[in-house]
Amino acid sequence: MAEVLRAVNLQQVYAARQGLFQKSLSVHALNGVSFSLNAGETLAVVGESGCGKSTLARALTLIETPSAGELWLAGELVDTQKKPEAALRQRIQMVFQNPYGSLNPRKTIQQMLEEPLLLNTQLSREQRRQAVSTMMERVGLRPEFAERYPHMFSGGQRQRIAIARALMLKPQVVVLDEPVSALDLSVRAQILNLLTELQQDLGLAYVFISHDLSVVQRIADAVMVMYFGRAVEYADAKTIFSHPQHPYTQALFSATPVAEVGEKRERIHLQGEPPSPLHPPPGCPFGPRCAYVQAICRQQLPHLRTLNQAWVACVRAEAINASSLPNTSAKSLLHSHAPP
Amino acid sequence: MKLFADEAWRTTWLYFKESKGGLWGLSFLGIVLFCVVFADLIAPFDPSLQNRSALLLPPIWTEAGHWPYILGTDAVGRDLLSRLIYGARYSMFIGFVVVSLAVIIGTLLGLLAGYYSGWLDTLIMRLMDVILAFPSLLLALGLVAVLGPGLLNAMYAIALVMLPHFVRLTRANVLSEKNRDYVIASRIVGASNRRLMFNTILPNCMAPLIVQATLSFSNAILDAAALGFLGMGAQPPLPEWGAMLAEAREFISRAWWVVTFPGLAILLTVLSINLVGDALRDALDPRMRRS
């Protein structure tokens, strides 16, 4: 399928002021992230809090202009330093995590959903009303609700409204920033179904940011695991879930609860905290917490390289794989990666 | 750009009606506004007409009071009721002009300062700090001394003194609202800075502003009275309520009515405005409405 979004070495650097007379330090919130996304596919971005997932979302939607790197939308290079123009905005839209904060409490659903059309198209008032009511039906809301205010809706309905707003301009790419993590379990399933349905019907490409691996496993075609502003592993979903290769990915996956009574599995407990972005450690940023760390890890920064159909940023991946392979072969996906 | 469509006005009224206090306040304000408009027709006397034979006459329901001085007369024999009716004009005028000036300019400055942080924010806020650093009445007094005494200059001075409160209130609200997701969502679909400021953020900052505006209304009337008392505001014989109060101060122990009625007029007007402001804030906020 056609590629709709490609990021090349995206970087986002913030200046952190230390004090009045001290030199300000730079924080690399996003440190060279690259990926490519085809129409109708979902790229899941996973990682713990503070790993740069949301910064990536903000860079992709150009809420914040990335400090460096290239962004290609449907084969066109986006000028990230310029204010995005209408044509570009129509192609990439976003759904936020918290449906209670992402809807303007002072506007009716109608006003909110027609805002994108009002600002970017020449549709008449009647046409806009028509478009809004079609879209509301599309996301499973009754069009009569258009004149209501957000506070009259439940969390799940609000998230449907937020999805509807993102789709009003018929985008090609939708960035979903933890779209279901604020919802309870039953509603979560409904929203995920809606997203899958919309994707199939409209050929949307999703960048799905999440920390919930069970959700990711269900929806993702490709997975990018981020740590400390970098991708540490990037592969298609099947490969990464059946055979995670980076020690961080393994630890992350082992932390996902499995709904099986009596199921005992070995959990990899990570020591310590992610390093301070103000003072990054030498070499591999995961080194200080890694069970397999050796002298070489502190000397060089690992870059993504291909290994067994995946991209892995670990210099010792082969050695680690070799030592854990006997365990991984037969068992089911999620609990296959305990070290011996 | 239309601020409200007709539909929105009707809904607002629908919810405004729910508040009893708001309705009471609105009725009293209606009476005051009626006095403002038809003062020439309903006032029994000219407000500055003196009657030497009726000095400090008490109200009509006391033993010494007599017709036609319903609320009595003041120290130079002017009819108190007529003066109150005409005074409504000045007090409402002062309140409206001062508060409108302070709200419009203050909100605008606060919005700019909060939205474009950086040097503009620093500039505006430090200017406001300078204004706040002076005792408010003293600053107003100084300004009037420079501009020349008179009601209009007093009003400009009071508006300037009130400005920082509105600027700070607006800025604080804008700062807390501008990074909310709904603002970012609007930005993603292409809203301009102006649209974000006035259409997206400002309506969500209005509630405390409406309350502050109604509270300032009373302050404006009182400050204008204080300036009048010091000879810098309304000049005699203008029947401005605050000035009447100030003029009557020396008779407070022997003629209660000359201070009571102007004071009551100020109190009731201010109370009504506050009640209306409260009800209006609730009616304008969709979250307070019953679904």
Sorted by sequence, the CB contacts under 8 Å of residue A262 that are 6+ apart come out as none
Closest CA to A35 of A77, A64, A3, A82: A3
User: Cα(B97)–Cα(A232) distance, rounded to whole angstroms?
Assistant: 64
ipTM computed for the complex: 0.82
Element spanning A311, H or E: strand A310-312
The predicted structure's pLDDT at residue A274: 78
Confidence label for B289 from pLDDT (cuts 50, 70 and 90): low
Instruction: Tell me the helices (H) and strands (E) count for chain B, helix number first.
Output: 11, 0
Cα of A317 to nearest chain B Cα, Å: 40
Confidence label for B232 from pLDDT (cuts 50, 70 and 90): confident
Element spanning B28, H or E: helix B20-42
Q: Is A101 on the interface with B (CB under 8 A)?
A: yes
pLDDT digits 0-9 by tens, A243-296: 888 888 888 888 777 666 666 667 777 777 777 877 777 888 888 888 888 888
Helix (H, G, I), strand (E, B) or coil at B187: helix
Closest CA to B283 of B32, B21, B2, B1: B21
- With respect to residue B2, please indicate whether it lies within any of the assigned structural domains: no
B contacts of A86 (beta carbons < 8 Å): 190
Tell whether omega for the bond before B237 is within 30 degrees of 0, i.e. cis. Answer: yes
The predicted structure's pLDDT at residue B108: 96
Domain count within chain B:
1
- With respect to residue B210, please indicate whether it lies within any of the assigned structural domains: yes
* Residue appearing with tokens 């009048």: B228
* CATH at residue B273: 1.10.3720.10
Could you tell me how many residues make up chain A? 340
The predicted structure's pLDDT at residue A263: 63
DSSP secondary structure letters along A57-76: HHHHTTSS--SEEEEEETTE
Query: Which of A103, A116, A152 lies at the smallest CB-CB distance from B189?
Result: A116
Structural domain range at position B196: 13-288
Q: Chain B interface residues facing chain A, Cβ-Cβ under 8 Å?
A: 180-182, 184-191, 195, 200, 203-204, 286-287, 289, 291
Could you give the percent of chain B with pLDDT greater than 70? 96
Contact B204 A101 (CB under 8 A): no
Distance of CA B289 to the CA centre of its chain: 27
Is the pLDDT at B290 greater than 70? The verdict is no
Residue A151 to residues A102, A108, A155, A186, A271, Cα–Cα distance (Å): 12, 10, 9, 21, 43
A contacts of B291 (beta carbons < 8 Å): 148, 151-152
Contact A165 B189 (CB under 8 A): yes
Distance of CA B198 to the CA centre of its chain: 24
Cα of B128 to nearest chain A Cα, Å: 24
Angle at the Cα of B76 (from B73 to B78), degrees rounded to 5? 40
- With respect to residue B6, please indicate whether it lies within any of the assigned structural domains: no
| N- to C-terminal Cα separation, chain B | 28
Contact A169 B189 (CB under 8 A): yes
Contact A96 B187 (CB under 8 A): no
Query: Which of B181, B200, B286 lies at the smallest CB-CB distance from A151?
Result: B286
Is the pLDDT at B8 greater than 70? The verdict is no
- With respect to residue B40, please indicate whether it lies within any of the assigned structural domains: yes
Cα of B290 to nearest chain A Cα, Å: 9
Helix (H, G, I), strand (E, B) or coil at B221: helix
A contacts of B186 (beta carbons < 8 Å): 104, 115
User: Is A45 exposed, middle or buried, given 0-12, 13-18 or 19+ CB atoms closer than 10 A?
Assistant: buried
- With respect to residue B63, please indicate whether it lies within any of the assigned structural domains: yes
**Chain A CA closest to residue B207:** A106
Query: Which of A89, A98, A152 lies at the smallest CB-CB distance from B181?
Result: A98
Instruction: Please name the residue ranges forming H helices in A18-142.
Output: 53-60, 86-89, 109-120, 125-138
Query: Which of B188, B200, B291 lies at the smallest CB-CB distance from A104?
Result: B200
Is-contact B154 B240, C-beta < 8 A?
Answer: no
Arithmetic mean of pLDDT, B224-228: 81
Cα of A97 to nearest chain B Cα, Å: 9
pLDDT digits 0-9 by tens, A25-51: 788 888 888 999 999 999 999 988 878
Query: Which of A63, A97, A169 lies at the smallest CB-CB distance from B187?
Result: A63
pLDDT digits 0-9 by tens, B54-83: 788 888 888 777 778 888 888 888 888 999
Q: What are residue A209's DSSP bridge partners?
A: A45, A177
Could you tell me how many residues make up chain B? 291
Cα of B103 to nearest chain A Cα, Å: 21
Contact A63 B189 (CB under 8 A): no
Torsion of CA B274, B276, B278, B284, to 10 degrees: -150
A contacts of B195 (beta carbons < 8 Å): 119
Task: Delineate the domains of chain A, giving CATH numbers in brackets.
Answer: 3-220 (3.40.50.300), 243-258+265-272+280-335 (no CATH)
pLDDT tens by residue, chain A, 340 residues: 688 999 988 888 888 776 666 777 788 888 888 999 999 999 999 988 878 888 898 888 888 888 888 888 888 888 777 766 767 778 889 999 888 889 998 899 999 999 999 988 889 999 999 999 999 999 999 999 999 989 889 999 999 999 999 999 999 999 999 898 888 888 999 999 999 999 999 999 999 998 888 889 889 999 999 988 888 899 998 888 888 888 888 888 887 776 666 666 677 777 777 778 777 778 888 888 888 888 888 888 888 888 888 888 888 887 777 765 444 433 333 443 444 3
User: Cα(A19)–Cα(A11) distance, rounded to whole angstroms?
Assistant: 25
Residue A72 to residues A1, A61, A230, B138, Cα–Cα distance (Å): 16, 12, 19, 62
The predicted structure's pLDDT at residue A340: 37
Residues 131-150 of A with CB under 8 A from B: 148-149
User: Cα(B272)–Cα(B287) distance, rounded to whole angstroms?
Assistant: 24
Is-contact A237 A57, C-beta < 8 A?
Answer: no
- With respect to residue B140, please indicate whether it lies within any of the assigned structural domains: yes
A108-122, B3-17, B208-222, B248-262: which has the minimum mean pLDDT?
A: B3-17
The predicted structure's pLDDT at residue A334: 41
Contact B189 A162 (CB under 8 A): no
Interface test with B, best of A115, A152, A165 (most B CBs within 10 A): A115
